Structure 1
Amino acid sequence: MSEAPTLTRKPEGPPRVPGAKAVRPRSAATIIIVRRDGPKPKVLMGKRHGGHDFMPNLWVFPGGRIDRSDYRAPHATDLRSEVAAKFSRHLPLHKGRALAMAAVRETFEEAGLLLAKPVPARTAVGPWREFLAEGVAPDLDALDVIARAVTPPMVAKRFDTWFLLAEADRLVSLERKPDCGELEEIAWIEFDEALQLNLPAVTRTMIREAVERLADPDRPSPFMRFKGRGWATTHL
């Protein structure tokens, strides 16, 4: 079995004000979507706008923070039992599903792609209005958990991020709908080429982790946190 991944670079983002208490990490989730219809697998990535104060001009996976609406929005399929169990060992009831919903919603908002299945049309308000207007609801059964990482305390913006994996053939279509503009460029990129991009340290680590997971679906899911003066890795 391969060794657990490590992070060797300093985290990107504005540093915490000297003397200030560490901010509480915000709950977030992101999806590594893999496309396998070519000679080599490709991963969906987008480039963040240069005007962002957090990770400007870096390539990332689509995803974002959890919203209250993610707890109550409808879904076409639920998390697989083993995925739900992995969430429930670490999170309050229903939060794992809400994180998965957040990742699916943000993928639509940022990349214009729907990880979903058709459902009867319904109206909604708030962040889910445009998603549900497409006549679909999230396909949570398509998701697997591959890792979790918490931003170190010396950074002003911190996230407790769950990294999920899904196959591109579970998307409604590979044709993108107009995105929200948070990502300047969006592309399907071969894994070895993706590692040559300008990436956050954690994204680089997760690309390598995804490659390992594709080769070994039973690989344990790492949980990376900053302790003392360096990264500590356990498993979910």
Structure 2
Amino acid sequence: MPDQQAPIRDAATVIVLRRDGPAPRVLMGQRGASAAFMPSKFVFPGGAVDPGDASVPLMAPLPALCAGRLDEDSAPGLACALAAAAIRELWEESGLIVGQPGAWPCAIPEDWSSFAARGQVPDATALQFVFRAITPPGRPRRFDARFFLIDAGHIAGDPDDFSAATDELSHLQWVPLPEARRFDLPFITEVVLAEVAARAHDPSPPASVPFFRNDDEESLFLRLSGKSPLQEPSM
């Protein structure tokens, strides 16, 4: 049986939105059939924050509005680590870079070596914090996942070149938003896709950020406004 007390790990997920076709598209891939978490599901690139992410230099920081909302109901100073994790996970799982050319001013963490070898320093300027969800109890792994939206125009290089990706996600592809729900998706991915579809033609950050908080005692649907959580009826 799954561990009811599985620790909750901070995680970052990246939704890359492409607007250069007849319909907006998002980057998705399929998790392996033997994966411990969400096997065979189509998901956005993402994963847990690594210890080294907190010390990664950012060429430019997150927008202040997004950083403030990330700090809400979170450990102090976590926003930079989450932004770095989002950029690293996108690189590892898709081979796409969000960064600027430059030299690293510090020692390079081992799991950032391939990114830095491309002559790039991560840049968080274009990331928008748009969603947060905690995995419900009873799952083999649990994450406090923050979802970041970025326009594909901020990708350094060819957005169709996945040659540097690891094998964690297969069938990487740009999925038209109207067709995304025909894939085998986790429930929370469907919810996030609806939020993205509603904002597909709006480049500004959302007025508030949805937060599905699944605690051991209850499930709440909140909105992070940068001031205090706004509670709404649970779904």
Answer yes or no: same fold by TM over 0.5.
Answer: yes
Out of 72, 77, 96, the residue aligned to residue 55 of structure 2 is: 72
Normalization by structure 1: what TM-score? 0.86
> Which residue of 2 is the match for residue 235 of structure 1?
223
Q: CA deviation at 1:199?
A: 0.5
Unaligned runs of 5+ in 2: 225-235
Please give the alpha-carbon distance, in whole angstroms, between the structure 2 residues aligned to 1:98 and 1:72: 7
Q: Secondary structure at the residue paired with 2:125?
A: helix
> Which residue of 1 is the match for residue 182 of structure 2?
196
Q: CA deviation at 1:121?
A: 6.3
> Which residue of 1 is the match for residue 6 of structure 2?
23
- 1:35-61: per-residue Cα shift (whole Å, max 9, x none)? 011111100001111121221111000
AA partner of residue 223 (structure 1): F
Out of 121, 131, 152, the residue aligned to residue 137 of structure 1 is: 121
Out of 197, 220, 223, the residue aligned to residue 211 of structure 1 is: 197
Out of 87, 92, 109, the residue aligned to residue 75 of structure 2 is: 92
Q: CA deviation at 1:228?
A: 7.5
C-alpha RMSD of matched pairs (Å): 1.9
Q: How does 1:74-223 map to 2 (within 5 A)?
A: 74-120=57-103, 124-173=108-157, 174=159, 175-215=161-201, 217=204, 218-223=206-211
Aligned residues: 219
Identity of aligned residues (%): 34
Please give the alpha-carbon distance, in whole angstroms, between the structure 1 residues aligned to 2:163 and 2:122: 16
Out of 29, 43, 62, the residue aligned to residue 45 of structure 2 is: 62
